[in-house]
Amino acid sequence: MSDVFVSYKAEDRRRVKPLVEALESEGYSVWWDEQIGGGAQWRSTIESELNSAQCVIVAWSKRSVSEEGTFVQDEATRAQQRHVYVPVLIDKVHLPLGFGETQALPLVGWKGERSDARYEAVLNAVRRCTGGKARPRRRPVAEARVDRRTVIAGGAVATAAVAGIGGWALFKPSSASAARSIAVLPFANLSGDPSQDYFSDGIAEELRSALSRLADLKVVGRTSSEAVGKEDAETASKKLGVVNILTGSVRRTPSVVRVAAQLVDGRTGLERWSEVYDRAPGDAIKIQTDIAQNVAQALSIALGGSAGSSLTIGGTTNAEAHNLVLQSREAMDQRTKEDTDRAIELVTQAIQLDPNYADAYARKAIYLMRRGNSYASNGAELARYRAAAVPFAQKALSIAPKAARGHFALAVIYQNQFNIDAAWSQVQQVVQLAPGDADYLSFYSFFVSRLGDQAESLRSADKVLELNPLDPDSYANKVGALFDARRYSEAVAFAEQAKRKSADLFTDPLLLGICLVMAGRLREAQEQFAMGKPEQWERLAGEAIVFARSGNKAALQQKVQRMQQLFGDAASYQYAEIFAQAGDKERALASMDSAWAIRDGGLINIRVDPFLDPIRNEPRFQAIVKKMNFPA
């Protein structure tokens, strides 16, 4: 049973979508259908949902009030009889006889803005029917995302330490024509069950991933695509700077999966291709491939040879294994240790169902690395997780040597082993196999900086912004690139400019804090660090550096002691930064020795980290740099 049933004419689907998504963002489960009357089974499902919904919204339009809108009118009658009828107008029309007694709520021209008084009126009507409350959705975490804050927290406890190694001049200016640009908007979950969101979200993300493997195609990243999910195609196209918009919906029942997809020219609003698939649940994998192939053909991209095969490489034909991997993605989005452990268990089950599922092996390697790098409480635990990840990355590549995620997983491992030459080899494979992936480009930008080419890092950071223009991590990536280039005032100005443009575009006060430290604005830096969680390692390390630079030895010691209680020797790299800033070279160098002993991931920053400048010329420091074997 769903909270809300939305009745509308099939041709009005794109106009109704913003209302559905707004209500879902409030926490309501919404049942709707992009093509009513698709057969006896679907009629039965529609009737069941209509009879059980706590609220029925009827979208009256020119089409639904006409003779062709009898299905909508029948549903409206049923809703009236059940006293759950909420009429809304999306066109200026006169309602059919029998429906004029209840005043329809106007939504003509509404584009999805939740602060609009017209939407609030509809929401209040829904609340009167249902009393439903919100279940907020969490922001996704991209697997290759680089956290530039490793510059101060580097090490073993940093999520960013899972990233691989970049190189020089690998990304050339795009040769894609304007017509070869696309955003895959979130696919609507029409199952009437919010717990199935992971499946529709996963379908859309896997389509993005598949399309990003095609050369000369600009594919907007996940976060930006989801940010405009409630917009019409024309608006989304303008906001994202692309021509083509792919939208769709997914409905699953125990016996059938229905996936509807539509490719729209955002300049004109005209449909370029569409299809509705009614298949057995196990065919969802084949549907994804078919959609990607049809979209590529509609955009006139050749799919001969390796290009066509790249759409499916590393996948599975086992529906349940595929389902478990999609669930693991959702678990990793939650950003907690418990959900990371759950994600590891889910991909383990997927591997048991399909021992040849390369993508599941690669994900398990990445998840294990993230588990250790983000949540290990000491060096020994960190080492165990890193060692456990190795065979899964190797297995992924033995099954699918041309799958980018397997190469990424191995690059992560080599980086943490400080086998940088080997990691670089893997990174070259990653970006060649997935040239349009914004997240891989983000981690490339991070590591090309560590290898010494700040200009290339900044150029690729700008490319990330182009591919993911509404993602706050894209702005953080640019701020980090400016920090690495030691252009601190520019970094602060860029962050503040992004915040003025929209509070949602720069959301990383801890990164801004380290920029302010190096710009000499300690009081403002302290204010930024105070926005972090009290026991967050980024905040503790940042505050300790502020106290070190301001000479507050008592407060400095208190912060270091707290970090030692929480993280032990896993934070050795951070201690080196802090003691270097405090002028205690001996303790800083001893911490660097400890960081090398446990292979602290923060060491990847050793050549560019300004907090280590006070010990940079010391022989013990230079010896560690030499051991890391950076390429010339």
Predicted local distance difference test score (pLDDT) of residue 606? 94
Residues 112 and 187 in one domain: no
Average pLDDT taken over every residue of the chain: 83
Predicted local distance difference test score (pLDDT) of residue 170? 36
Residues 126 and 185 in one domain: no
Predicted local distance difference test score (pLDDT) of residue 305? 46
- Domain with residue 107: its CATH number is 3.40.50.10140
Quote the domain boundaries for residue 518: 464-627
Residues 206 and 264 in one domain: yes
The token duo for 520 is: 């000499």
Domain boundary pick from 108, 130, 152: 130
Residues 99 and 239 in one domain: no
Q: What gap in Å lies between CA 607 and CA 600, rounded to an integer?
A: 15
Q: What is the mean pLDDT of each run of 10 residues along the chain (632 residues)?
A: 87 85 84 54 76 92 86 90 91 84 83 82 88 48 49 37 32 49 87 79 83 81 87 88 88 81 86 82 74 76 51 75 89 86 96 94 94 82 90 95 91 85 84 84 86 90 91 93 96 95 90 96 96 88 96 95 91 96 97 92 92 97 90 74
In-domain check, residue 345: no
Residues 476 and 623 in one domain: yes
In-domain check, residue 405: no
Q: What gap in Å lies between CA 328 and CA 370, rounded to an integer?
A: 13
Give how many domains the chain has, as a whole number.
3
Predicted local distance difference test score (pLDDT) of residue 132? 54
- Domain with residue 267: its CATH number is 3.40.50.10610
Residues 86 and 212 in one domain: no
In-domain check, residue 93: yes
Residues 123 and 255 in one domain: no
Instruction: Report the amino acid identity of residue 259.
Output: V
Residues 535 and 619 in one domain: yes
For residues 181-219, one letter each, b for 16 or more C-beta atoms within 10 angstroms of the residue's C-beta and e for the rest, the string is: bbbbbbbbbbbbebebbbbbbbbbbbbbbbbbbbeebbb
Residues 101 and 184 in one domain: no
Residues 125 and 260 in one domain: no
Residues 85 and 214 in one domain: no
Residues 252 and 191 in one domain: yes
In-domain check, residue 221: yes
Predicted local distance difference test score (pLDDT) of residue 291? 81
In-domain check, residue 314: no
Domain boundary pick from 262, 284, 299: 299
Predicted local distance difference test score (pLDDT) of residue 302? 52
What is the 3 state secondary structure string of 276-344? EEEECHHHHHHHHHHHHHHHHHHCCCCCCCHHHHCCCCCCCCCHHHHHHHHHHHHHHCCCCHHHHHHHH
In-domain check, residue 256: yes
Cβ atoms of 183 and 164 within 8 Å: the answer is: no
Q: What gap in Å lies between CA 561 and CA 544, rounded to an integer?
A: 10
